[in-house]
């Protein structure tokens, strides 16, 4: 599959055709205009009215692919990728930008994750059975989300209270001893009180066979997720909602094999555990004459236990073997406040609609690492504590220039302060003032069409390289003293987009072309001085980077029985001046986790009123696994199938994900770890799920 400027031109013309078709039908009522509201936007507009590249999916879209976890959903989005290195896909990249792992050092994410407005960035996501809407923002979104949205943001909204009793129970069973049991219920208690409750339990053996232990569950999935919402409306102008989340994840981690397949030899399999609880108080007050007050105060507490068998083998494999483990115990507590005023005046010509907000956060990160110290030749531990405070002010103006032309401008100023301390007697204070902005010119020829030009600036915070500092005392690693900390990264984005929706919803097309400049881009570096098992990891600042490409999303209702969906992306990336600490020059090379193209083709075929056949084909080009070596993933195609039958309140489905049984790499390392071949360097990969076959049943009332 090849992309070229002709594809861009064709896609833009298709979107313009949709706008013309919508305009031609404008004599009809507006009852059919797309009504899906973007929950993450400051003004909560529809996706077709919002300048910027954005994808929105609902519960029905999740059912189409029998999705059970976020990493099974992300492949359908243009220019979105992810990596694992854990029991689940946890690290997300948008347009080739994003982290791939987190070990010793605490990293400000390039792509954040919000669930009901609560910041889960870096923690990953468990249950998604109660998701009402999922939004993928691409490109810098600093004005809205701040430092966690350098490259984009994932925003999830779960189901909430209803005016009457509603509920759903579902059960899914699949190969690899997998099952998922989920239930949701919502109701009104009185005319002022309402609630919703959701629970989900998911289990699986985890697609790995450990030959040494003769077990098939060392990489297992065992996750319990619960969410509760309690809504209260004391007056006509005030709405309050209390949100509560609970996650109990007890997963195994045994994913890498010396034989570079799905069979492992570990005698001490790892773990990927998480216990988290969160509360949020949301408020919406409409009693002011000039503005609406919206805000949220949230708290989250999380404890993670992540570890692995470093040698991926057992004692007695080879005379030159080693046998060690690495374990990371993390505690995180955060308190976040985000309140804003949104003007309620209708935007008359020349008069701006405005938003004015304040954001404050306090986050505590505590780490205890238990590892084998090769210099001391004994078990050792390392502890660190990072205290970070953020304070930001942000504003956005939407000024009509003509009846069809609007200028939107936004600005955010953010200050962060870090206090770092560790068991190696390092004490470092970091602080910086960062700013983000956006400016878009929006031309809306009719309510269903938008053509925009967008310029935006995003940022992410710097930090401390605690791992480098801890190892700098070794004479052979004294060059790490120059990597004590790393600077913030800045991203500039220029974008042109066209969005068009036919009034009868038969055609929806969105196209975005972008060019991004990265300054002081943060890249992961490693030093391996003796070619043994000891590595020193650190974050480095490369000089610059370039990322540019195109994203296309279309939906066509061919007839009442057939709907077609397509999303496609083309991406070019380049590292700036980047020479590793080992002297390897990667200047000008493509960036990691940045496939040149990706696509998702899907069809919904209504065989009858009750019988639906869904088919989807997803593909992605190969890409580099790291900015520090030249090993690449394999290109792949995934075929997903689903046949469902609706019988009144019941739905039954048989499905298959990855029906062609492709081996898809989701994390790759390049080094020597096998004593049987003298520790010859190899590409070691973690693979996503193989062919899955399952049955699902749900009852909705």
Band the pLDDT of 479: cuts 50, 70, 90. low
The more confidently predicted of residues 159 and 126 is 159
| Percent of the chain at pLDDT exceeding 70 | 91
**Mean pLDDT within 14-20:** 55
Residue among 654, 656, 564 nearest 611 (CA): 654
Torsion angle defined by CA atoms of residues 105, 109, 110 and 111, in that order, rounded to the nearest 10 degrees: 150
What pLDDT does 126 receive? 74
What pLDDT does 375 receive? 78
What pLDDT does 64 receive? 80
20 with 13: CB under 8 angstroms?
A: no
**Mean pLDDT within 525-538:** 63
**Mean pLDDT within 249-274:** 97
Residue pLDDT, tens place only, 102-141: 888 888 899 999 999 999 998 877 788 999 999 999 999 9
What pLDDT does 355 receive? 96
**Mean pLDDT within 457-461:** 96
Band the pLDDT of 1: cuts 50, 70, 90. very low
Band the pLDDT of 23: cuts 50, 70, 90. very low
The pLDDT of residue 410 is above 80: yes
Residue pLDDT, tens place only, 630-664: 999 999 999 999 999 999 999 999 999 999 999 99
The pLDDT of residue 666 is above 70: yes
What pLDDT does 689 receive? 95
Distances from the Cα of 486 to the Cαs of 17, 457, 524, 573, in angstroms? 47, 20, 11, 22
Residue pLDDT, tens place only, 352-409: 899 999 999 999 999 999 999 887 889 999 999 999 999 999 999 999 999 999 999 9
Tell me the CATH number of domain 5-700, given options 2.40.170.20, 3.40.309.10, 2.40.70.10, 3.55.40.20: 2.40.170.20
Render 109-122 in DSSP notation, one character per residue: -SEEEEETTEE-TT
Render 330-381 in DSSP notation, one character per residue: EEEEEEEEEEEEEE-S---TT--EEEEEEEEEEEEEEEEEEEEETTTTEEEE
Query: What is the H or E stretch that residue 526 is in?
Result: strand 522-527
**How many residues appear in the chain?**
701
Question: Which stretch of 60-74, 145-159, 278-292, 564-578 has the lowest confidence by average pLDDT?
Answer: 60-74
Band the pLDDT of 346: cuts 50, 70, 90. low
The pLDDT of residue 324 is above 70: yes
390 with 359: CB under 8 angstroms?
A: yes
Note the pTM of the prediction, 2 decimals. Answer: 0.93
Residue pLDDT, tens place only, 60-93: 888 888 888 888 889 889 999 999 999 998 899 9
Tokens 């898809």 belong to 664
- Which residues contact residue 116 at a Cβ distance below 8 angstroms, ignoring those fewer than 6 apart? 156, 157, 158, 227, 229, 243, 245, 280
Distance CA(259)–CA(242), nearest Å, equals 50
The pLDDT of residue 533 is above 50: yes
What pLDDT does 350 receive? 64
What pLDDT does 539 receive? 85
Distances from the Cα of 295 to the Cαs of 231, 246, 362, in angstroms? 15, 22, 17
696 with 63: CB under 8 angstroms?
A: no
Residue 105: both structure tokens together: 């050092």
Residue among 459, 498, 435, 440 nearest 151 (CA): 459
What pLDDT does 237 receive? 97
**Mean pLDDT within 270-298:** 97
| Percent of the chain at pLDDT exceeding 90 | 75
Distance CA(282)–CA(591), nearest Å, equals 39
């Amino acid at each position: 599959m090849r992309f070229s400027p002709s594809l861009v031109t064709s896609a833009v013309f298709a979107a313009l055709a949709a706008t013309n078709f919508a305009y031609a039908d404008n004599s009809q009522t507006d009852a059919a205009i797309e009504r899906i509201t973007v929950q993450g936007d400051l003004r909560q507009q529809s996706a077709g009215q919002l300048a910027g590249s954005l994808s929105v999916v609902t519960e029905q879209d999740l059912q189409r692919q029998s999705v059970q976890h976020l990493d099974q959903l992300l492949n359908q989005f243009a220019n979105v990728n992810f990596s694992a290195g854990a029991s689940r896909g946890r690290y997300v990249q948008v347009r080739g930008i994003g982290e791939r792992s987190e070990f010793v050092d605490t990293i400000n994410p390039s792509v954040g994750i919000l669930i009901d407005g609560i910041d889960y960035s870096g923690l990953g996501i468990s249950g998604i059975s109660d998701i009402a809407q999922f939004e993928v923002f691409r490109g810098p979104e600093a004005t809205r989300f701040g430092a966690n949205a350098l490259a984009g943001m994932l925003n999830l909204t779960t189901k909430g209270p209803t005016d009457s009793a509603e509920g759903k129970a579902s059960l899914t069973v699949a190969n690899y001893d997998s099952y998922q049991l989920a239930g949701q219920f919502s109701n009104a208690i009185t005319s002022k009180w309402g609630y919703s409750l959701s629970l989900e339990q998911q289990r699986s053996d985890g697609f790995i066979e450990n030959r040494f232990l003769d077990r098939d569950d060392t990489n297992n999935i065992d996750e319990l997720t619960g969410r509760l919402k309690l809504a209260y409306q004391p007056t006509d102008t005030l709405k309050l909602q209390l949100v509560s989340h609970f996650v109990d994840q007890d997963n195994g981690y045994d994913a890498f094999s010396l034989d570079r397949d799905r069979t492992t030899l570990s005698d001490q399999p790892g773990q990927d555990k998480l216990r988290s609880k969160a509360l949020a108080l949301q408020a919406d007050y409409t009693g002011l004459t000039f503005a609406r007050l919206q805000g949220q105060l949230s708290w989250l507490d999380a404890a993670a236990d992540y570890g692995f068998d470093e040698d991926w083998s057992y004692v007695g494999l080879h005379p030159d073997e080693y046998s060690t483990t690495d374990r990371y115990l993390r505690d995180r507590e955060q308190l976040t406040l985000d309140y804003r005023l949104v003007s309620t005046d209708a935007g008359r010509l020349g008069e701006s609609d405005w938003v004015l907000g304040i954001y404050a956060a306090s986050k505590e990160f505590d780490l205890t690492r238990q590892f084998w110290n090769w210099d001391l030749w004994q078990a050792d531990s390392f502890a660190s504590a990072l205290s970070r405070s953020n304070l930001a002010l942000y504003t956005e103006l939407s000024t009509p220039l003509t009846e069809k032309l609007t200028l939107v401008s936004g600005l955010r100023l953010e200050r962060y302060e870090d206090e770092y301390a560790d068991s190696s007697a390092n004490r470092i204070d970091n602080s910086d003032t960062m700013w983000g902005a956006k400016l878009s010119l929006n031309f809306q020829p009719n309510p269903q069409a938008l053509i925009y030009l967008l310029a935006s600036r995003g940022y992410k915070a710097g930090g401390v390289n605690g791992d480098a500092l801890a190892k700098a005392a070794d004479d052979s690693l004294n060059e790490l003293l120059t990597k004590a900390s790393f600077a913030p990264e800045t991203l500039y984005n220029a974008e042109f987009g066209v969005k068009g929706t036919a009034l009868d919803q038969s055609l929806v097309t969105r196209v975005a072309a972008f060019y991004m400049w990265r300054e002081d881009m943060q890249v992961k570096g490693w030093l391996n001085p003796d070619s043994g098992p000891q590595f020193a990891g650190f974050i480095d600042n490369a000089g610059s980077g370039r990322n540019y490409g195109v994203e296309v999303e279309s939906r066509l209702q061919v007839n009442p029985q057939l709907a077609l969906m397509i999303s496609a992306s083309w991406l070019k990336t380049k590292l700036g001046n980047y020479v590793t600490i080992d002297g390897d020059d990667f200047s000008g090379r493509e960036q990691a986790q940045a496939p040149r193209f990706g696509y998702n083709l899907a069809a919904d075929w209504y065989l009858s009123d009750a019988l639906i056949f869904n088919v989807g084909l997803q593909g992605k080009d190969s890409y580099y696994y790291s900015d520090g070596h030249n090993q690449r993933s394999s290109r792949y195609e995934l075929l997903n199938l689903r046949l469902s039958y609706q019988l009144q309140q019941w739905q039954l489905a048989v499905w298959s994900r990855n029906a062609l049984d492709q081996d898809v790499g989701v994390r790759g390392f390049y080094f020597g770890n096998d004593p049987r071949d003298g520790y010859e360097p190899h590409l070691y990969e973690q693979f996503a799920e193989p062919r899955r076959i399952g049955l699902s049943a749900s009852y909705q009332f």
